[in-house]
A and B are shown apart, each in its own frame.
Chain A
């Protein structure tokens, strides 16, 4: 019993065609211009030192060694990992949940789409400013209300309160990104699947687990990687709200880097740090990416 073994469904059979490079060429040119050339400059800084007057001398890997052993670095790294972990753990499930509850079409859908995107459109310094005032006990809505309810809340003094404020601010700011991506992914599922599930008498949970979640895998990967990268690089919002404090309770990696570059004016050290920062993100993202694409390939077998 042989039929033409043509695959049907979302997995496209790719053809081998090296001429596809022509389609990719524009992207290559633009990004190389934007990325590779400048990156070389940074590498240059990272392996040199200067006594000023734009005179550099070679120091090799000295900066890198210093970075790896620094106590402050370890502290900032630890805080950053914790922060990114919490963010992902909250925003991804919440984003999926919201996407599942959004109306599919009509006036309400448009309204929801517009309203939930508003936080995404606010420049980061304004986001920080909003929450900075919002959380103040004397003049901010949140702080005032919490205080009135008898809760002891002060984000300038209490590290835990500072963390909570920064986390809630990020959730407020970025969850809609995850929700929008998942929503677009959900909209791509053909009706026939839902109809078949109704006929098979499937429960709501089964529909989610066997139809919606698998089809959302692509957009979820994008959402996870995006949120991971951006939360790992976060600077302006927490800086405006807490300045890294109290003490260094909310000093994440970017803030640490900025302090190093601007306060101590240490180009070499900062450049080395930048590259290592980049490498860490690269490594983790590569792991995520490979795991997800391998899972994908596994299933196709």
Chain B
């Protein structure tokens, strides 16, 4: 039966996903001595010290706060800017549209290393170094093209008749967009929001270059663990575990949008 084989496939895949994560959690509950000393499947000397260190030290937990702030800013900006643009690309032909679209994509292709130094100079000149908005804007470099790209794909699947019917029924463009159009591409918006969040959350190079202390993201704080005395594996692992939590929450909240289908026949 179909149900059986897909359940087996999913179980195997999820196991594959989870075993290294279990390993991470495992490491986070061990002392450094135990991690580097022997192999143990389960911590012999279970300790919560690593988590305590993170949750009590402001430099650590502010890292999470900072990351949350600029990532949220970035998601909002990226979506706000990308939605109208994607609509334009999917509905209209205009001068240079194909070239513009591809140019947009190219912005995602440049290795971040290429932009690190120029960004630093640019934001220094504008006195925006070490602010959240600087990182949020910098991340738009790769997130906005991605958002436009994914949203355009979903918008293309909505028949134009729906727009026309709405105008005939007297909807203004903003109202039509928010009340009628966006629910139809809900799964696309969900996927996009999650990816934008994710790529901004894990980005290290630009966020490190543009911040010093005030807006330092968690990814940077974690590099602190590699010090002169060797790597603080336990704390690094605990920090890693805590990094997963916000993202997991995000995907939990958008899960309905991703799982929703597009009820074409009902319109």
Contacts and interface: CB of A to CB of B under 8 A. Distances in A.
Same complex: yes
Interface string A151-193: 0000000000000000000001000110011011001111110
Contact of A123 (B190, B204, B251): B204
Contact of A114 (B41, B141, B252): B252
Given A139-B38, A289-B105, A121 B248 contact: yes
Contacts of A13: 160
Given A116-B17, A138-B39, A27 B105 contact: no
B258 A115 contact: no
B259 A126 contact: no
A261 B150 contact: no
Give chain A's interface residue range (CB within 8 Å of chain B). 35 or more
Contact of B251 (A42, A114, A187): A114
Interface in A35-88: 35, 37-42, 45
A164 to B, nearest CB: 15
Interface in B69-124: 77, 80-82, 84-85, 87-95, 97, 100, 102, 104-115, 117-119, 121-122
Interface in A108-165: 109-110, 112-126, 129-131, 133-134, 138-141, 144
Nearest to A13: B160
B105, B156, B219 — which one has the most chain A CB atoms within 10 A of its CB? Answer: B105
A79 to B, nearest CB: 16
A130 B261 contact: no
Given A41-B117, A126-B243, A114 B255 contact: yes
Contact of A10 (B144, B156, B161, B237): B156
Contact of B20 (A41, A115, A172): A172
A203 interface: no
Nearest to A218: B153
Nearest to B223: A125
Given A35-B107, A117-B247, A15 B118 contact: no
Contacts of B16: 172
Interface of A is mostly: helix
A3 interface: no
Interface string A18-41: 111101101110110111011111
A34 B137 contact: yes
Contact of A225 (B105, B144, B156, B251): B105
A33 B74 CA distance: 15
Nearest to B256: A110
A30 B144 contact: yes
Contact of A289 (B102, B145, B223, B243): B102
Interface string B154-196: 1011111100000000000000000000000001101100110
B153 A101 contact: no
A188 B39 contact: no
A32 to B, nearest CB: 9
A97 B107 CA distance: 30
Contact of A20 (B92, B102, B115): B92
B94 A17 contact: yes
A285 B106 contact: yes
A115 B18 contact: yes
B36 interface: yes
B185 to A, nearest CB: 9
Contact of B191 (A140, A184, A257): A184
A301 interface: no
Interface in A218-260: 218-219, 222, 225-226, 229, 233, 235-236, 254, 257-258
A183 B258 CA distance: 8
B81 to A, nearest CB: 4
Contacts of A16: 92-94
Interface string A97-109: 1101111110001
20 contacts: A20-B92, A26-B81, A26-B85, A27-B104, A30-B81, A31-B107, A101-B13, A103-B6, A126-B237, A129-B236, A133-B27, A134-B23, A140-B39, A172-B16, A184-B154, A184-B191, A190-B262, A190-B265, A229-B108, A278-B111
Given A15-B91, A218-B157, 16 more contacts: A14-B93, A20-B88, A24-B85, A26-B85, A37-B122, A101-B6, A118-B244, A119-B21, A125-B204, A126-B236, A130-B20, A133-B35, A144-B39, A222-B150, A278-B110, A285-B105
Interface of A: 6, 8-10, 12-21, 23-24, 26-28, 30-31, 33-35, 37-42, 45, 97-98, 100-105, 109-110, 112-126, 129-131, 133-134, 138-141, 144, 172, 176-177, 180-181, 183-184, 187-192, 204, 218-219, 222, 225-226, 229, 233, 235-236, 254, 257-258, 261, 274-275, 277-278, 281-282, 285-286, 289
